[in-house]
Structure 1
Amino acid sequence: MKLRPFEKISSNQLNSGLNLVIADGLSAEAMVVFTSGTFLTAMAIHMGATNLQLGILAALPTFTTMFQLLAIWLVQRFNNRKVVTTVFNFLARLPLIAIGIIPFIFTGGTTVQVLIILLFFQHIFGDIGGAAWNSWMKDLIPGERLGSFFSHRSRMAQTLNVMLSLATAIGIDYVKSHYPQNEILTYNILFMLGGILGMVSVGLLLRTPEPKAQAINDKLFTLFGKPLKNKNFRSLLIFNSFWAFALNLATPFFAVYMMKTLGLPVAYIIGLGIAGQLSSIISIKLWGRYSDKFSNKNIVSICGPLYVACIIAYAIVPANNVTTALTLLAIIHILSGIATAGINLALSNIGIKLAPNSEAIAYISTKNMLVAFTSTIAPMIGGLLADFFASHPLNWSVQWHGMHLQLLNLQGWSYFFVIGGLLALLSLRLLNKVKEQGEINQYRMVAQMRVKLRSKLRANLGRRVTDGLYYPSVVVKRNVVRVLNAERSLRRSA
């Protein structure tokens, strides 16, 4: 195990390192499953958290991103991203273990206030380590493999997420049914287990090679200002910040809405989450391939409107009909899983792609901090205004010849879903100002995707189907000619 950076990394070292990065992603994903998301929300609600406290918990992961500024100074001072990453990731796991062992030491157990304080420090240390990790990965992973590698890593991590989430949800529901007095203790044990798995992640990173980075000689605030002076990167910052604000006005409260307003049990919510994860797993390989072949910007422009539609659709989910609600939620989660797979991959990749190699940590950290600032404000505003909107419903219905048709029924969290969705839709217009190398016209990308799909269909058109029937030859010829003509047209326009 070598802690110092390598002057040159061999092909074998690179392949071994990439495998370790994937293993690190799996152990870190397991940690995230046990200590965040729906399980954290359920734990906080069971502990009696207010809407404001739920908003603070949702804002913590983004609020603490401002501490990535310290990561820039540490990397500049020591020029060793592996050490910075592993040391601060180690410190980030300690609060999780502390949350897990508190009930075994103090009879009062964990309170919401203690939970918020410990998670605050966990996110601070994690963000510092994460900023150094981003710069490290920028130099380690070849640019032409960036999209396919991270899509593969994400797909494996999401598969693990699905299995662990399902098993954990079943376990929690069993405890709630048979041993309700031990529900909070179960959540504490999950935190302890998550912290331990996080330590495994640290061990894997210690074995991963780090290529030597170019020394950063500029002053800290000079580095911080460079991304703001870069016109193209500044356009990315404006879009990403506005997009993050719009999304975080609504998305952190999906689980709260399903628990409090719709009254769904945790197992149902986890099941819906799994449906979204599965659709994400299936689609992310496609987005990774098109990210390398076309551009990340085009992927956002396609997936963004779909995700906005999913956010707004939450507002029309009925609270008085469980069957209809679950059906609509299942469709929403499946479509949003497809959309978020492309959006998350593309936004991460485009930030890495547009950042200069010598100053990647400054550019990526600046992006993360500005996005975090807007992402932090949104759920806190949501938490503060939730009670106001709950007591000010908006109903719009039409009555005609004895028929009563309800067109709109907004109350509580529904306001945020509509407002957040519309703001996100407006923010997509800002994406046009971002320029990305290798970018092609969006319609050409969609056309090529259609041609590829038709090519696959063409390969099966003349084959015998399982029941012994054949496709008519005239239909085969007509479809083959259409696909070939489309391919020739695209090649001429390229």
Structure 2
Amino acid sequence: MPAMVSLSPQSVVTPEEQERGLRLLVGEAALSGGAAALTTGVILTAFALHLGASNVMIGVLASVPFLAQLLQLPAIALIARWPHRKAISVVTSLVGRAMLAVMAALAFFSGTAPLLIFVAAQAILCGLGAVGSCAWNAWMRDLAPEERLGQVFALRSLWLTGVSLVLGLAAALALDLTAPRSTPRDFVFAGMFAAGCVTGLISARVVAAMPEPQMPPAPGAVPLLALLRPPLGDPNFRRLLGFIASWQFAVNLATPFFTVFIVRQLGFNVSFVLLLSVVSQIANLAALRMWGTLSDRFANKSVLAVCAPTYILAIVAMIGASQFDSRWLVKGWLVLLHVVMGGSIAGVTLTSTNIALKLSPKGSATAYVAASAIATALAAGLAPILGGLLADFFAARRFELVARWSGPSGVLSLPFVLSRWDFYFLIAGMIGLYAMHRLSLVAETGEIERRAMVGQVLGETRRTIRNISSVAGLRAATDLPANLLREGWLRVRLRRAQAAKRARTDPAVTS
């Protein structure tokens, strides 16, 4: 890598520069994935709890990444006026990830002031990340050839997932070896965020070495309201937005507080929560291919009609963890639920984006996807804030229901108790039912009945189990990168053969 790099776009990007840029793009995933694995998700919530964050503060932290996505709208105007996408990506990454160093230093302090600084640093990080990702996505779309987009980003996703799994397990081990609120744990959290900062800054340096093709001139500014008018005026798409908003609200009312529920109410260590996160990621990867196959074969709505209720039911079933007396039974129940949630959310994430694209008229996909993103950001951003504000209300309330069976041998009592976070899971389930009602009103061509879709899911699952139980099937399950490379290579050969055939048969081409 040269000592000095330019952040300016290039009028011409040679094939050699493009190939080098794509190699850096894939390799950079290990760095950005490492930074994210050590500073987001469960670790971020656990660090906030370590600093003494209240439930309201946890809700605010969970909402920041979603509300920050709204900054992508002014970012579009910024890129149109100043089309230096690499410079925007690198600068926002450097400044934003420098906030991780601030968070690392806060590990040795406690009180209200450090928590407020922590939230402010997270807001800066997420806000600049949203602006940078807008420039990044537009830049990568021009850098990677269309016929290799799937191959390049599949390899990148594998790096991201692999690094996240390894570092997730390492973080779980490090936290398991230290006592809560102890000085060694201060150093563990400080080390995680410092390492995230360093890898994030190195990632920005690698990104700066990638070439940026010059952006074509913009046709002209379009007002936001004019951009959103077509999707909001489409009755069928409005029904889809109703599903997206209610679904995101239901999910994000409960899931940001899973860590709080498992650590504070159930009394488990943060390391166990990290292990559950790893289990969920593995289930997500295992199910993603199946949902992709089924969504291509049938309608996205049909897949959603199975995945979304399954995920919501798993959230409601979290109530069961507070009903069992055996710690091992509770652990097994949580592992099972995280497997179900990881597998089902893979289908929801895949198909909810696809259905928004499918219902968009040709040439207007940007406006429709933007409307979907705004609905997601608002609903997912407001839900955890409301959840945090209501935490004290539900903490002071308790609902008990006792089922008794009387017989000659005595009386058997089965108590059912709802307290604290259990109410959130139940409310999320009720809002989720409303979201499924909104989904049923959306019209999509090719959809099939839920019963038939469940049959297809069971069929795919049986085939997967049969494959994994054999050596050949196990090899196929781990051969995804090779398959992608081979398919991409075959597509290139086919195009070359077709071009050669046209050149032989068309005299105008050879002359």
TM-score (norm 2): 0.77
Q: Which amino acid aligns with 1:113?
A: L
Q: Which amino acid aligns with 1:57?
A: L
C-alpha contact (below 8 Å) 2:64/2:126 kept by paired residues: yes
Q: 1:182 to 1:450 in 2, by over 3 A?
A: closer
Q: Which amino acid aligns with 1:195?
A: C
The aligned counterpart of 2:290 is 286
Q: 1:204 to 1:425 in 2, by over 3 A?
A: farther
Q: Which deviates the most, 13-22 or 316-325?
A: 13-22
Q: C-alpha distance in 1, partners of 2:453/2:152?
A: 21
The aligned counterpart of 1:489 is none
Q: Does 1:84 align with 2:92?
A: no
Q: 2:383 aligns with which of 368, 378, 382?
A: 378
Q: Which deviates the most, 94-103 or 261-270?
A: 94-103
The aligned counterpart of 1:314 is 318
Q: C-alpha distance in 2, partners of 1:459/1:103?
A: 47
Unpaired segments ≥5 residues, structure 1: 462-494
The aligned counterpart of 1:329 is 334
Q: 1:101 to 1:229 in 2, by over 3 A?
A: same
C-alpha contact (below 8 Å) 1:393/1:410 kept by paired residues: yes
Q: Which amino acid aligns with 1:43?
A: F
Q: Which deviates the most, 318-327 or 359-368?
A: 359-368
C-alpha contact (below 8 Å) 1:151/1:284 kept by paired residues: no
C-alpha contact (below 8 Å) 2:249/2:382 kept by paired residues: yes
The aligned counterpart of 1:218 is 221
Deviations 1:349-369 (A, max 9, x none): 444566678766655444323
**1:423-442 counterparts in 2 under 5 A?**
423-434=431-442, 439-441=446-448
Aligned with 1:176: secondary structure?
coil
Q: C-alpha distance in 2, partners of 1:294/1:8?
A: 42
The aligned counterpart of 1:492 is none
The aligned counterpart of 1:487 is none
Q: C-alpha distance in 2, partners of 1:45/1:353?
A: 41
The number of residue pairs the alignment matches comes to 459
Deviation of the 1:254 alpha carbon: 0.4
Q: C-alpha distance in 1, partners of 2:88/2:359?
A: 23
Q: 1:331 to 1:452 in 2, by over 3 A?
A: closer
Q: Which amino acid aligns with 2:381?
A: T
C-alpha contact (below 8 Å) 2:45/2:58 kept by paired residues: yes
Deviation of the 1:210 alpha carbon: 5.1
The aligned counterpart of 1:67 is 71
Deviation of the 1:330 alpha carbon: 0.8
The aligned counterpart of 2:348 is 343
Q: C-alpha distance in 2, partners of 1:445/1:181?
A: 53
Aligned with 2:397: secondary structure?
coil
Q: C-alpha distance in 2, partners of 1:449/1:94?
A: 45
Deviation of the 1:46 alpha carbon: 1.9
Q: Does 1:392 align with 2:397?
A: yes
Aligned with 2:220: secondary structure?
coil
**1:37-52 counterparts in 2 under 5 A?**
37-52=41-56
Deviations 1:56-103 (A, max 9, x none): 111111122222221121122124444433332332212112222467
Q: C-alpha distance in 2, partners of 1:229/1:357?
A: 16
Q: 1:94 to 1:237 in 2, by over 3 A?
A: farther
Q: Which deviates the most, 50-59 or 402-411?
A: 402-411
Aligned with 1:48: secondary structure?
coil
The aligned counterpart of 1:467 is none
Deviations 1:393-422 (A, max 9, x none): 111111121434436321100000111022
**1:394-433 counterparts in 2 under 5 A?**
394-401=399-406, 402-406=410-414, 408-433=416-441
Identity of aligned residues (%): 30
Q: C-alpha distance in 2, partners of 1:460/1:372?
A: 38
C-alpha contact (below 8 Å) 1:250/1:417 kept by paired residues: yes
Q: C-alpha distance in 2, partners of 1:111/1:460?
A: 49
Q: C-alpha distance in 1, partners of 2:40/2:259?
A: 12
C-alpha contact (below 8 Å) 1:8/1:211 kept by paired residues: yes
Q: C-alpha distance in 1, partners of 2:351/2:205?
A: 29
Q: 1:79 to 1:263 in 2, by over 3 A?
A: same
Q: C-alpha distance in 1, partners of 2:202/2:322?
A: 43
Q: 1:116 to 1:450 in 2, by over 3 A?
A: closer
Q: 1:176 to 1:296 in 2, by over 3 A?
A: same
Q: 1:108 to 1:49 in 2, by over 3 A?
A: closer
Q: Which amino acid aligns with 1:189?
A: G
Q: C-alpha distance in 1, partners of 2:111/2:264?
A: 26
C-alpha contact (below 8 Å) 2:107/2:186 kept by paired residues: no
Q: Does 1:182 align with 2:184?
A: yes
Unpaired segments ≥5 residues, structure 2: 470-511
Q: C-alpha distance in 2, partners of 1:101/1:198?
A: 17
The aligned counterpart of 1:133 is 136
Q: Which amino acid aligns with 1:422?
A: M
Aligned with 1:175: secondary structure?
coil
Deviations 1:183-221 (A, max 9, x none): 223212211211222223334444165584672423332
Q: 1:446 to 1:418 in 2, by over 3 A?
A: closer
Deviations 1:256-299 (A, max 9, x none): 00000000011211122222122122222333444455454433
Aligned with 2:351: secondary structure?
helix
Deviation of the 1:32 alpha carbon: 1.7
Aligned with 2:332: secondary structure?
helix
Q: C-alpha distance in 1, partners of 2:14/2:443?
A: 33
Q: Does 1:93 align with 2:97?
A: yes
Query: Over aligned residue pairs, what C-alpha RMSD do you find?
Result: 3.8
Deviations 1:414-444 (A, max 9, x none): 000111022123212323454567x443566
Deviation of the 1:143 alpha carbon: 7.6
**1:157-176 counterparts in 2 under 5 A?**
157-176=160-179
